Amino acid sequence: QQQVRQSPQSLTVWEGETTILNCSYEDSTFDYFPWYRQFPGKSPALLIAISLVSNKKEDGRFTIFFNKREKKLSLHITDSQPGDSATYFCAASEGNYQLIWGSGTKLIIKP
């Protein structure tokens, strides 16, 4: 079965530090990898995404690093803020309009 794995399940980081969230996948046909963020009591929303043609994608304090050979991605959040506290989901798609979701990482940023 296609799987997307995330680690750690939960993470606590001090304000101002860099947060690193990890994601790995198995299926070589995946070519698009979005990260969604879900605040408590809210619905998931797209944060940042990367495709197979790129090794890195930046958007402000958020950066995806992509190691295609090892089938691993990581989401880096620099200068982490308490407002970044949320659950982060990594997902993958093979172009069929479906997303395969990881189980999420719950992030807490302490002031």
Tell me which residues touch another protein (CB under 8 A): 32, 34, 42-46, 49, 51, 53-54, 89, 93, 95, 97-99, 101-104
How far apart are CB 15 and another protein at their closest, in Å?
26
How far apart are CB 83 and another protein at their closest, in Å?
20
- Residues contacting 41, CB < 8 A, separation 6+: none
Give phi and psi for 97, each to the nearest 5.
65, 10
Choose among 78, 71, 67, 59: nearest CA to 17.
78
- For residues 88 and 63, the answer to whether their CB atoms sit within 8 Å is no
Between 81 and 98, CB nearer to another protein: 98
Between 42 and 56, CB nearer to another protein: 42
How far apart are CB 39 and another protein at their closest, in Å?
12
- DSSP state for residue 16 in the 8-state scheme: T
